[in-house]
Amino acid sequence: MKMRVLAIIVTFAAAACANDPQYVECGTGDGSDVCTLDSQMGSSVGTGDDAVFVVTGSLHVPVMPPDSTLQKTTTQLQATMPTDVTVPVYRLDMYDLSVEWTLKNLDDKPTTAAVALNGANEDFAWDPTVIKPASNEDPPPPSLQGNIPFDVPANGEISGVFTEDELLEAAIDLDEITRGNINMYAATLVVSKNDQSFQPLSAQQAPPPDSDDAPMQTPMGSAVPRAAFRQMIRVDLAMLPGDSSVHLTLQFDIRVRPQITNVIDAMGMNAPAAQLMIIDPPKFMPAYTP
Amino acid sequence: MGSRLVTIATLGMVAARSAFALADDLVENKPEDRAAATGFLAEGGLGAVAFLPKLNKDAAVGPELELRVGRDLFSWFSLDLFAAASTHEATLPPPPTGQYFQLYRAGADGRLAARFNTIGIFAEGGVGAAMVSSNVLEPANITSPGQRFSIQFHAGVGAEYQLENRHYGIGIAVDGFLIPQFGEMKAIASRIYLRYTYGGG
């Protein structure tokens, strides 16, 4: 009886602490992470009217390599899925993410700027700057969140946050675009955060020579249930100054709220390398961009 | 009819006897000579925790709940176990902004008390452990990566008013505490409390 009471107390204590937030900043875990962006380090991407001045930085989520418990859970979940649906190691229900940022204008000249959020899951990264639309009249590839210009006063400071809901939406959109071949504009414009599944489609293809319309995409394979949605394991932030001559800095961190105890390292990105799972997947390139 | 009269008379005598007994037991608990129970005790308090420099610019004043159980070893000395929780806004330079953290403290302390009729004064001090709920203060070098726990020391003074019921006392207390491993965090914790003592001695 005493052991049972003790077990209940320990379980409740562990559960109570499980989703306390953890604030992740750049650390020794990955030297390539950048948490402070400086407009003086920016560069122009694209050509002609599509050229944008941008500074980017990435910060990994300090996920731990899957232990035996996590592997067992993944295997058990995989057994409940259709055979053509792969259950990822790092899933939506394991942790919640949000990103806090502060932008400073170091000059005495007002300007505009935008902050855009992209990122990566364990299989693909999303970088809209490497995707070229089919024609110059097409809108630029979308960021997963943000990229809305705002005024920055002279010598001013603006703070903002990409909320847990926005990161949830971004993670699902990224999975829909990369695993489901869902059109990137549709995926980012439709609210998917409450979806219980999505249906993968056939790859987008270029229109045939005698037509301007791309072939219809058809459903392909089984629908992917929410339990198998991929969570983001890296956050990429882009600062887009309206005027590249104004000196701006952007500082950001990730707020992680683990829902289970064995997925996020308590030392964050300062944990020893062996305790972290640093994943930098390839950038996703759609077969055809409408 | 006769047996009913006997029953009524018997009940009447029992009731009258009980009333006399209660009157005998009733002792007027005058303010100039107010009795206070000693023995096992429980205490609940509400208050606030304010951090001292340098930490006060990184964490705001926050409300605190404190619970205690203990035992009066003598009328002038008691040993207590306590648990306290307070919540604070992190006010360090952004990011982050608008974030809160909780500070949990638990441990044991001793209390030396002196009473002057209804008013008592006391000094207390002890040692325990502290836990912070998140690493939001890490950018200010208050906690290190992965660090959530520290030893803590505290000491303080207070005053207590003994209610007419000798089991109850209400009071105010002000403690200072030091948490060395959280960047030598220093703070003042003040509370008002209600104390119940089970014993009759």
Q: How near does any CA of chain B get to the CA of A278, in Å?
A: 18
ipTM of the prediction: 0.81
Partners of residue A159 on adjacent β-strands:
A102
Residue ranges with strand state E in chain B: 40-51, 62-74, 77-90, 99-116, 119-132, 149-162, 168-179, 185-197
Q: What is the pTM of this model?
A: 0.84
Q: How near does any CA of chain A get to the CA of B175, in Å?
A: 27
A96-111 tens-digit pLDDT: 999 999 999 999 999 9
> Nearest Cα to A28, choosing from A271, A279, A276?
A271
* CB neighbour class for B3 (10 Å; exposed up to 12, middle 13-18, buried from 19): exposed
A124-142 tens-digit pLDDT: 999 998 888 777 778 889 9
> Nearest Cα to B75, choosing from B116, B22, B126?
B116
With beta carbons under 8 A apart, name residues in chain B contacting A253. Answer: 95-96
CB-closest option in A17, A252, A267 to B95: A252
With beta carbons under 8 A apart, name residues in chain B contacting A100. Answer: 94-97, 99
Q: Are B185 and B168 in contact (CB under 8 A)?
A: no
DSSP 3-state of B94: coil
Interface probe for B, chosen from A17, A23, A64 (most Cβ of B below 10 Å), is A23
Please state, rounded to an integer, the average pLDDT across all residues of chain A. 90
A205-218 tens-digit pLDDT: 888 888 878 788 99
How much is the pLDDT for A3?
A: 66
Q: Which amino acid is at A200?
A: P
Q: What are phi and psi of A288, to 5 degrees?
A: -150, 140
Checking if the pLDDT of B19 tops 70, the result is no
Say which residues have a Cβ less than 8 Å from residue B184's Cβ, sequence separation at least 6.
Answer: B178
Do the chains contact at A21 and B134, CB–CB below 8 Å?
Answer: yes
Q: Are A31 and A270 in contact (CB under 8 A)?
A: no
How do A157-162 and B40-51 pair as beta strands? unpaired
Q: Is the bond leading into A62 cis (omega within 30 degrees of zero)?
A: no
How much is the pLDDT for B22?
A: 46
